[in-house]
Amino acid sequence: MKILLIHTFYRGKGGEEAVVAAEMSLLKEAGLEVEILRFQNPGNAISALFALLISPFNLFSYIKTIHKIRSFQPDVVHLHNWHFAASPAVVVACQFAKVPVVLSLHNFRLICPSATLFFHGHIFLESVHQNFPWKAVSKGVYRNSVLQSFYLAFTIYLHKRLKTWQKVDQYLVFSAFMKNIFLQSTLGIPENKFVIKGNSIVDLLFEDNTDRKKHFVFIARLSAEKGLDVLLKAFAETGFELLIYGYGPLEQEVKAYEALYPNIQFKGPLLHDKVPDELRKCTALVFPSTCFEGMPLTILEAFSTGTPVIASNLGAMSTMVVDHDNGLHFESGNSVDLAQKLQYWHTLPESKQKQYRLGARATYEKNYTPEANLKILESIYSALS
């Protein structure tokens, strides 16, 4: 089977690029013939402006996609990111060439120009039920620009009217929560076109005989949407030991709390290959994000190492973390509720905490191994080819 991946690379490497690289390797190792068609968002202002202006239908991308399909002759095209250099023209090219298309939804861009449904520190849901996201445009949710927000919204709306999005054969979403948001929207995609498929990570190994310490860890960007204020207030109140790893705009606020509360320790950035070791040492990972998130890699790493997760009951975390199984939920944005859950966890006997650790590991083995990921991908491709 031949699979053509299409992806537009951002100027800075991010999570989407890591997913594309991992899945490409996974498919090749399974014996599938895989090639990738790359598009690159321009780095200089003039080129970026030109690419943005033609983003409703980039003729150059259309021609490039047609040529690639003719030369490679794929059975299925798997599109990860069209924004903005590739443009929706790549979907139209696949339709013209009569090749089935799978589109991975890494964010909520098809619903709102913000892509995250988060703006200025708060959940932003106004676009979900609007036929055209006028409120998002007026607020300039994309790059704080009314003009750019309008142009992006217009591009998506144009192809909604042209039924470009309706002709995609299969949509992949990270979670049941994400699927429900799209089904509630005005995008008009039927439920049978959505498949829930999580990302996968290599096995980080679970050692149940590891002597865990009593401290909690937070590993994330130090920014408002990660729920840092909720985290700091909860640990200031409880006195439980917390190790904070990361960097970002709220670093000084973290240092201020560290100076006042000896139980809060700021450790700075953590090298990625050191994350598993830190997870194996702690009693639990705390994930207090106040935005919906996509599929946080840190949670997958926690599950793989058998580390329970105490997370806000919001977005992806509400379905990835199963309350009283692989972790605990607390009300998003509520530091008092988080403090109560920390206290509850602290009073659990070791035998009960071990059950949570086994639950976390079982979640990884069922949903997030490379083998589980490959099985879903192959079933989707086979059904379409």
Q: Tens place of pLDDT for every residue, the chain, 385 residues?
A: 999 999 999 876 677 998 999 999 999 999 999 999 999 999 888 888 888 899 999 999 999 999 999 999 999 999 999 999 999 999 999 999 999 999 999 999 999 999 999 999 899 999 999 999 999 999 999 999 999 999 999 999 999 999 999 999 999 999 999 999 999 999 999 999 999 999 999 999 898 776 899 999 999 999 999 999 999 999 999 999 999 999 999 999 999 999 999 999 999 999 999 999 999 999 999 999 999 999 999 999 999 999 999 999 999 999 999 999 999 999 999 999 999 999 999 999 999 999 999 999 999 999 999 999 999 999 999 999 9
Q: Are 139 and 163 in contact (CB under 8 A)?
A: no
Q: Do residues 362 and 374 both lie within one domain?
A: no
Do residues 26 and 154 share a domain? yes
Query: Is the domain of 341 the same as that of 299?
Result: yes
The verdict on residue 207 lying in a domain is no
User: Domain count of the chain?
Assistant: 2
CA–CA dist 370, 377 (Å, integer): 11
* Rounded distance between C-alpha atoms, residue 358 and residue 308, angstroms: 9
Q: Are residues 239 and 362 in the same domain?
A: yes
Same-domain pairing of 279 and 145: no
- Global pTM? 0.92
The answer as to whether 211 is a domain residue is no
Separation between Cα atoms, residue 360 and residue 354, nearest integer Å: 10
Q: Which two tokens stand for residue 324?
A: 């009283």
CATH number reported for the structural domain that contains residue 169 in this entry: 3.40.50.2000
Quick one: 264 and 158 in the same domain? no
Containing structural domain, residue 267: 216-367
SS3 84: coil
Residues 228, 355 within the same domain:
yes
